[in-house]
């Protein structure tokens, strides 16, 4: 009989920076009859055609999925005019961000990004053992690309540009981005995180938002990241994609946890790209963008210094009042994402949430109390 050793009181040795890492912060659930405007989710439920393919994928869940989601890659390749090898599918674009950071940045290396930006970036960089170099946003809440270019050192391996930026909603313009790329050494990986691209409604001019789709094939060090979580409403299934040079995508394939993308997720994404389904989804995106513009215009008229948002959320720079304003909204059934002491990110959700939101914020305009 083998007996277990006596406990010695010794603690398992973990990486100290990992043990100290705070868990990814998710939005609080909404109270009953309330609205969850804290995770930039799509307020519309899934299309029946998407539910159908997910249900039918359920019949095969005793089998592993196709490891590379080839059918979805082929669909996206056709759409973006690239080969299927220039498309990489991930378990959400956050998984792809992790894969690319792991592929390029090791301990001692630096990853440059604007701050505030997507909350997951610092944790992903820490997991890779690399160091975050966070460049403060400009006063207008956009990326300070000049300062970001200046922050690139010999140790920089990855630069992340987020447009529209989460949580501020501000875009990088096409002209700004191209000027920036001219300053980034070609041997440093640039990740263009366009999780909210479909909400931009651009006009294609140089003053307009950068559109990664128009830059494909132009830079050997650029990868565009997009997701089905936001515009396509598949947040719960976890599916995102990257488009870029094969050599870079191969490196990110190597750092992936194998088989992360389920067959249900891949087939839901394919079903969402069917012409009739996509037309309906993009109509919803248009409705959300209209709602966003109305929320923005009203908040500005109320006196809130809200930057122009091109995403499915707006940024309320509430400053020191951030926590108090977020709590007041929560009491009224509206859950938002507070980033004290900077501001509050409010997702554009159900139509019924808009009046409640605007009424309360109208009463809380700084200086009006």
Which residues in 180-235 belong to E strands, given as ranges?
A: 189-193, 222-227
Please identify, using beta-carbon distances, which residue of 110 and 193 lies nearer to ligand PMP. 193
Please identify, using beta-carbon distances, which residue of 38 and 321 lies nearer to ligand PMP. 38
37: contact with ligand PMP by CB under 6 A: no
The rounded radius of gyration (Å) of the Cα atoms in the chain is: 21
Three-state SS annotation for 132-167: EEEEECCCCCCCCHHHHHHCCCCCEEEEEEECCCCC
* 253-256, long-range: CB < 8 A, 24+ apart: 253/68, 253/88, 253/99, 254/103, 255/98, 255/99, 255/100, 255/102, 255/103, 256/90, 256/95, 256/99
Distant-in-sequence, close-in-space partners of 17: CB < 8 Å, separation ≥ 6: 126, 129
CA angle 322/43/359 to nearest 5° reads: 45
265: contact with ligand PMP by CB under 6 A: no
Shortest distance, position 62 Cβ to ligand PMP, whole Å: 26
Shortest distance, position 345 Cβ to ligand PMP, whole Å: 10
Q: Give exposure, 19-58, as e/b (b: 16+ Cβ within 10 Å).
A: eeeeeeeebeebeeebbbbbbbbbbbebbeebeebbeebe
From the list 166, 168, 221, 347, which residue makes contact with ligand PMP (rule: CB under 6 A)? 166
Which residue has 């479909």 as its token pair?
Answer: 198
42: contact with ligand PMP by CB under 6 A: no
209: contact with ligand PMP by CB under 6 A: no
User: Which of the stretches 88-96, 98-106, 197-205, 315-323 binds ligand PMP when contact is defined by CB under 6 A?
Assistant: 88-96
Please identify, using beta-carbon distances, which residue of 176 and 193 lies nearer to ligand PMP. 193
Shortest distance, position 240 Cβ to ligand PMP, whole Å: 4
User: Which of the stretches 86-94, 147-155, 251-259, 354-362 binds ligand PMP when contact is defined by CB under 6 A?
Assistant: 86-94
Query: Cβ distance 112 to 151 under 8 Å?
Result: yes
Please choose, from the candidates 365, 313, 317, 320, the residue with its C-alpha nearest in 3D space to the C-alpha of residue 334: 313
168: contact with ligand PMP by CB under 6 A: no
Q: Which two tokens stand for residue 210?
A: 């950068």
x/- site string to ligand PMP, residues 118 to 147, per CB under 6 A?
Answer: x-----------------------------
Please choose, from the candidates 192, 246, 201, the residue with its C-alpha nearest in 3D space to the C-alpha of residue 222: 192
260: contact with ligand PMP by CB under 6 A: no
Return the residue nearest ligand PMP (CB atom). Answer: 92
From the list 34, 65, 92, 245, which residue makes contact with ligand PMP (rule: CB under 6 A)? 92
Hey, which residues between 222 and 251 contact ligand PMP (CB under 6 A)? 227, 229, 235, 240
User: Which of the stretches 2-10, 87-95, 250-258, 270-278 binds ligand PMP when contact is defined by CB under 6 A?
Assistant: 87-95
Shortest distance, position 24 Cβ to ligand PMP, whole Å: 10
Shortest distance, position 359 Cβ to ligand PMP, whole Å: 27
Residue numbers at the binding site for ligand PMP (CB under 6 A): 40, 92-94, 118, 162, 166, 193, 195, 227, 229, 235, 240
């Amino acid at each position: 009989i083998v007996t277990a050793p006596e406990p010695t009181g010794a603690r398992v040795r973990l990486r100290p920076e990992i043990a100290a890492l705070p868990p990814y912060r998710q939005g609080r659930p909404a109270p009953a009859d309330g609205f969850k405007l804290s995770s930039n989710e799509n307020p519309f439920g899934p299309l029946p055609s998407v539910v159908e393919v997910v249900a039918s994928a359920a019949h095969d869940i005793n089998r592993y999925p196709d490891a590379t989601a080839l059918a979805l890659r082929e669909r996206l390749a056709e759409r973006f005019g690239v080969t299927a090898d220039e498309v990489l599918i991930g378990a959400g674009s956050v998984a792809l961000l992790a894969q690319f950071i792991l592929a390029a940045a090791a301990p001692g290396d630096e990853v440059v990004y604007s701050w505030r930006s997507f909350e997951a970036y610092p944790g992903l960089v820490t997991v890779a053992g690399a160091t975050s170099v966070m460049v403060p946003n400009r006063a207008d809440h956009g990326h300070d690309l000049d300062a970001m270019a200046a922050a690139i050192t010999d140790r920089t391996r990855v630069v992340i540009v987020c447009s529209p930026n989460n949580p501020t909603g501000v875009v990088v313009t096409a002209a700004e981005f191209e000027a920036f790329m001219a300053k980034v050494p070609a041997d440093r990986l640039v990740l263009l995180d366009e999780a909210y691209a479909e909400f931009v409604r651009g006009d294609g001019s140089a003053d307009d938002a950068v559109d990664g789709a128009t830059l494909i094939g132009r830079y050997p060090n650029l990868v565009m990241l997009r997701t089905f979580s936001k515009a396509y409403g598949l947040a719960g299934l976890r599916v995102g994609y990257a488009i870029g040079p094969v050599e870079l995508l191969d490196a990110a394939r190597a750092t992936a946890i194998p088989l992360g993308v389920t067959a249900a997720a891949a087939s839901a994404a394919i079903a969402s790209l069917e012409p009739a389904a996509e037309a309906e989804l993009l109509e919803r995106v248009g409705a959300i963008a209209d709602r966003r513009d109305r929320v923005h215009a009203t908040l500005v008229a109320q006196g809130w210094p809200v930057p122009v948002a091109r995403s499915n959320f707006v940024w309320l720079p509430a400053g020191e009042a951030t926590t108090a304003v977020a709590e007041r909204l929560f009491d009224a059934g509206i859950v938002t994402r507070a980033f004290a002491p900077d501001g509050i990110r409010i997702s554009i959700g159900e139509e019924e949430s808009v009046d409640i939101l605007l009424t309360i914020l109208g009463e809380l305009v700084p200086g009006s109390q």
